[in-house]
Amino acid sequence: MYCPNCHKEFAAEFTGKFCTDCGTRLVESLKEGSTGLNISDNAAVMGGVNVTHNDSHNTTSFDQSVTYNSTVTNNINKSSIELQQERTQSFIEQCKQAFIAGNGLITEERRVSLETLRLSLGIDEAEAERLIAVARKSSGARMTALGLRDAMMLKNVDRFIKENDAAKMKGQIPRLAAIARDYNVEEVFYKYYLLLAALNPEELIKIYEKSVSDEYWQTYWVAIAYMKKKNVLEAESAISKLGHFLDYSEHNSLLLTVVSTYNEYGAEEAINYINELVPEECTPMLIPLLHAIYFEVAPERTNDISRESCQFFIDYILSLESPEDKEARRKAAEKEAAREAAKNVVADDDADDDINDDADDDINDDIDDDINDDVDDDIEDDEDYDVPEDECYDVVLSDAGVMKLAIVKALKDNFELGLKESKDIVDNVPCTLINRVSKEDAEMIRDILEPAGAIIEILDSETGALEYRTSSAQSYDTVDTKSVVTTTPAQTSIVNSNRNNVPQTQTNNNSGDAVDNIFNIINVIVAELLEALKRLVEFIRNQMSK
């Protein structure tokens, strides 16, 4: 096989269809005595091909072949699609050679040559631009000088960094990424990876970990990205790898060590590394970072430096925490403090309520104590009613009989009890009405309740011996009950005594709920009616039995 472009011969066992050097489609090698092709440029473009036989026979012309890139092949058996593919491949190969020769750029001379080739192959301008882009990527060559538009964009990035405008800087990151793919320019790499480390450290870490080749500024700024993510091990590993790049000063790496030390141990430790720095040995692009370190760690070295010129590095590189993150953390802390304050207010309110409740309880206890003291004082002051130690009696309501309502009324009217309290006494018979009173007081209580139908027992308080018991229930006499005097100390004592012996739900008739009192009265009346009905039924039965 034979390459008509670079004239390279291939062995017969070679099975490829294209030249390994220039990519041109291979043709069969011309042998002695075979037909040769001899064309000019004009003939190649117009399709006029002069076919000449190498022996002494007459020459015959055919119009059946096509040439591209000054190369002629026999196309008798080729389709139009195959011919178009050959034209395209030939144009791409010539573009690749132009990029390689121009170190990523196409010189003006090469551009004129490619334009002539485009016209000769019949490729339109849009398709040619696409093929040139394909050739640029496949050639592996990147431009070393920025175009006018890209240079202006890079100046805008410088301005946004000086103005510390994070929003605009974020908008430039995709544009820097595109330029970094096409240009081999150190300033582009520096600023692209710097902005990623400052504003999107997660993305820079992803790019770094997927990268198959080491780039200095990518490795340099990914150390900052790892520091922001609290990954100290990977940050230190990246700083160590910078030592493999012999074209850069070790003082660049020392700046990263200062940043790490400052954030971990403070300015006092970081100053030790700064003393070892030689600013003149650092890459000039890193001088703003050095000035930022001076402002935070060694202010005496700032001299005439403007803080605004390096504020971006102070906020996004040296502190390892962006102002946005600081503000978010501050707001979160304020919310947490507000929650704690609210909890404390609730706790204080509860404590105040407890204190107030305790105070109310103390006041109530004091009032009760005062009342009891007054009662005790009244009893003690009235010497006529002192009870001898050997003459103490307990009064017991043994049975309420059939007229419970009469006993309830007698208790309520004569002993300053509420309706509910009087009813509870009657419902809980037998119960002790009063303890340790004189015999006269016990008999007075008996005389009040017996006419209402109660069965009363008087017991000796010391021995428990029965001194008196009502023989049988008497009929209810309203007049007699109402005529009893109700102002004796014993009557007052029975009120206090029964507050402890009978379940209490109210202290007096005035403090109870009016609705509850009404229902209680209704219950008593209904109970009395039921008792009267029972007695009526018994009376009728007795009469019928006679």
According to DSSP, the residues that pair with 38 across neighbouring strands are 50
Query: How many CB atoms sit inside 10 A of residue 536's CB?
Result: 10
CA atoms within 13 A on the CB side of 543: 6
Question: What is the residue type of 216?
Answer: Y
C-alpha distance from residue 247 to each of 197, 213, 258, 282 (Å): 22, 16, 21, 12
Query: How many CB atoms sit inside 10 A of residue 111's CB?
Result: 14
Which two three-digit tokens encode residue 359?
């105070």
Which two three-digit tokens encode residue 170?
């974020």
3-state secondary structure of 494: helix
The confidence score (pLDDT) of residue 79 equals 78
The confidence score (pLDDT) of residue 516 equals 62
The confidence score (pLDDT) of residue 66 equals 43
3-state secondary structure of 25: strand
According to DSSP, the residues that pair with 49 across neighbouring strands are 62
The angle subtended at Cα 95 by Cα 93 and Cα 98, nearest 5°, is 115
- The continuous run of DSSP H or E covering 393 comes out as strand 393-399
Q: How far apart are CA 491 and CA 411, in angstroms?
A: 10
The confidence score (pLDDT) of residue 485 equals 35
DSSP, res 2: B
203 φψ region: left (φ > 0), alpha (ψ -120 to 50), beta (else): alpha
Q: What is the pLDDT along the chain (546 residues), one digit of tens a residue?
A: 777 777 777 777 677 777 777 667 777 764 444 344 333 333 333 333 343 434 433 433 333 344 444 444 455 566 778 888 888 888 988 888 887 777 666 777 888 889 899 888 889 888 888 888 888 777 666 667 788 888 999 999 999 999 999 999 999 999 999 888 878 889 999 999 999 999 999 999 999 998 877 789 999 999 999 999 999 999 999 999 999 998 899 999 999 999 999 999 988 899 999 998 899 999 999 999 999 999 999 999 988 889 998 999 999 999 887 677 767 777 877 778 787 777 776 666 556 566 656 555 555 565 556 545 554 555 454 444 444 555 789 999 888 877 788 888 888 888 878 888 888 888 888 898 888 999 888 889 988 888 888 889 999 888 888 888 887 655 444 333 333 333 344 444 454 444 444 433 333 444 445 556 566 677 778 777 887 888 888 888 888 876
Could you tell me if 395 and 445 are in contact, meaning their C-beta atoms sit under 8 angstroms apart? yes
According to DSSP, the residues that pair with 396 across neighbouring strands are 432, 457
Which residue carries 């582009």 as its tokens? 188
pTM metric for this prediction: 0.42
Could you tell me if 51 and 60 are in contact, meaning their C-beta atoms sit under 8 angstroms apart? yes
Cis bond before residue 430 (omega within 30° of 0):
yes
Angle between the N-to-C axes of helices 287-297 and 250-265, in degrees from 0 to 180, rounded to the nearest 10: 30
What DSSP string runs through 143-188?
A: BSS--HHHHHHHHHHHHHHHHT-HHHHHHHHHHHHHHHHHB--HHH
What DSSP string runs through 476-492?
A: P-HHHHHTS---SHHHH
